[in-house]
Structures are given as structure tokens and as C-alpha cells.
Amino acid sequence: MTQSACVSVTLERDEIENYLLAQQPEQALSTLESHQLKERNKSLYLLDKAMLLRMQNQFEDSNKVFEKAKKLTRKLDAISLREQAAAISINDSQRSYLPQNFEQVLVHCFQAINHLQLQQYADARVEVLQLSELLKQKDDIQMPFARYLSGLVFESNQEPDNALISYRKAYQAYSSYSSAIPLILKKDLLRLTDYLQLNDEHQKFLDEFDLEVWPKQQDIDQQAHAVAVVFNGLMPRKHSFEINVQSPSDGQLHRISTPFYEHRAAKVYGAELSSESLNTSSELIAQLDNQARTALNNEMPSIIARTIARVSIKNTAVDETKDNLPLLSLALNIAAILTEQADTRAWNTLPQQVLIMRLSLPAGNHDLKLNLLGSSLPDNIQTWKQVNMTKGESRFFSYHSPDSYVTQRKP
């Protein structure tokens, strides 16, 4: 990618981010679609478009675009020799963007949530089954949020056995990261092990969680439930860290360029869901920016290896011309510096965090209110009017709150 192309992409991302921070996803989508699309960035365009559509509650259209992104990802999964050669000879951004493994998992998660909000519970089930297969293939990542979401989907399809399996896997994934187990997951594990009469496992969780009260399945079946998910903040953007050195022996300039994520902070620190006199508070269930940094750290040895190979190839061309064609040699050296850019592409419309809450209510029509704590935006309260909720049913709602700011833009 040339310097001018990098500037163009940065300006586009700046514009989209500014619209999102102002809670204007429709303007962000118009900006995305107004810029010329390079074929190598098509998968990223589809991911961003699908996310911007769901921010506007266009869940069916969002899922159609996510399907296109999945199809393209499968096609790109085996990167062509031509693209590998482009990455070695110019820079990594010349390759088609292949979503990171954790991003591929999140595509299934967002599609499942779209289906849940449309009350298409069987379709959501299909999505989490595909998600399970993907996680088997991508065994290098742990996604506790994806596992917990799968449990919610199975419960919506009246499959407590499969739901418990997913909740167990979520518990194991949190434990593998040495992360705190969310209270909502602890209660679900106690509830279902009790209901399914898995006495030894139930006692194990009782001893570990030290909870005296949790909802009983019999009570859950007699109530309706509102599950609200807040997608909080914005995924930090990638930047390029560059080291420029001059060889003391021949005066050649060399550049090593690697990507890194900036640090962001979400302004919203929690949320409350209420209806009439009942209310509940949110829990942090996923820190997606940590997932992104882990993925980049895992990829860094390959990035550095390609960078070193690239520098070596470019320097060989400079060496071969410096005696007979010194001006050409100088031009090649300058070109080598200008074209050595880190690949800073990423799915930037992702949230930074995921908050979740569940409110149990009597069956009937309810006005729901979601209050965002810490938001600087005027519309920090989201309402859903006269939601019809039946006994034993869970209704799903979501809200995107991109309100956030950069705290550090250094490696």
C-alpha cells in the first residue's frame, strides 16, 4: 500500500469513527459505501457493512451481508501463491484481508443474535451449531462469550442439556484465561445442574461459587425474560510502528514496520435494564479488544518473518544496481522505504466490550428501559414499548454504544 493509499484509508476510518461516536450509523454506512472498494478489502467491507446495518436494527439485511462475508472468508482461507508473493515483495496490506479467527467466530455470534432478536430461534440454533464446528477447527482460541451465547440459544430452543454443555464450555474458557466467572453464568450452571439432577457437579459449583441463592428452573418456566446485550465502546484501531535505520557500511536506508493496537476506554461503565418496579444491572461478559491483541501477538512472529524476507529482497535489488546504476539504486532504496508499511486493517466497527443482563418478568406486555451509566450522549436511555412476553420465553434486545476515546496511541 502506498503512502497516499494509507492516508486515504485513514481518513475514511476517521470519518466512519466520528459518525459512530455521534451515534449516526446510517451516515457511517453511507461513508463506507461512497469510497472506492479495492477487491482485497472486500471481506472487511462486508463485515463493516453488516455491523452498521445491525446498528440500525436491520437484522435481516445484516445477516445477508454476514453470509456473503462468510462465503468470501471460506474462499480466502487458502491464500493464493500470488497473494503471498505480493506480501513478500511489497507489503502485507497487498493481500486480501482474511478475517482473524476470533473475527470469524464473532460473525456467527452476531448472526445468532440477529436471529434471536427476530425471534428466529431455530435459525439461531443453526448458527451456533456452525459456530461450534468452527471452534473445533480453530482450537487455538477460546471464546467464552461465544460459548455462553450458544447456551442462551439452546435454552431458547428448550434444550437444557445442550445449554448446560455450552455453559460448561464457557466456564472452562473463562477459567483458561484466569478470568472472573460472570455471576449470570454461575447462576445458570447452578440452575441447570440442579434441574438435570447432576448432584455431584451441582455440589462442585456450589462449593466453588459460594452462592446461597440462584433461580430455580421451575420459577424460570413460570416467568418471561428480557435479555439485553450492550455492545460497548469501539474496537481499538491498528497503527504502524516503524523503525528506520541507515547502514553504516553502504548508507542504505532500512525500515521495519509492524502493526499494533491503540488503547481505548469506553465511557459507559455499566447499564441497567428495568420495567415498572423491577430492574437488573449489567455484567461484563466479553472484553473483545483483549481478544484482538492476543490474536495479533500470536501472529507477530509470522509478520516479522515476512518483513525480514521483504527487506532482504528489496536490499538485494538495491545492491545489484548501486555500482552501475547509482540513481536507479537510490530510487529503489527510496521505494523500498515508502512501500514498507504495516498492515493496519481490522474490523473496526466491532465493540470493545459486551455487557449482558437478564430481567425476569410476569408474562404480559411490558415497557423496557435500558439506562447507560457514564454515557456522554443525550440519548443514553433506550426504550422498547409494549413488548409482548409469554411465560417461559426469553426476548432478546441489543444496543450499540460506541462512546469511547483513545487513551494511548503507542505500542
Task: Report domain extents, the chain.
Answer: 223-411
For residue 403, what pLDDT band results from cuts at 50, 70 and 90? very high
Q: Give the type of residue at 168.
A: R
pLDDT at 92: 77
Q: Check if the beta carbon of residue 40 is closer than 8 Å to that of residue 97.
A: yes
Here the cell at position 155 is 435454552
Averaged pLDDT of the chain: 89
Helix (H) or strand (E) holding 273: strand 270-275
For residue 350, what pLDDT band results from cuts at 50, 70 and 90? very high
Distance from the first to the final alpha carbon of the chain = 21
Q: How far apart are CA 210 and CA 108, in angstroms?
A: 34
Q: How far apart are CA 221 and CA 191, in angstroms?
A: 12
Q: How far apart are CA 302 and CA 384, in angstroms?
A: 48
Q: Per residue in 11-28, pLDDT tens?
A: 788 999 999 999 999 999
Cell numbers 484501531 correspond to 237
For residue 380, what pLDDT band results from cuts at 50, 70 and 90? confident
For residue 330, what pLDDT band results from cuts at 50, 70 and 90? low
Here the cell at position 338 is 515508502
pLDDT of 86 > 60? The answer is no
- Between residues 36 and 110, which one has the greater pLDDT? 110
Q: Per residue in 228-257, pLDDT tens?
A: 999 999 999 999 988 766 666 666 666 778
What's the whole-model pTM score? 0.90
Q: Check if the beta carbon of residue 262 is closer than 8 Å to that of residue 409.
A: yes
pLDDT of 282 > 80? The answer is yes
Phi, psi of 153 (to 5 degrees): -65, -45
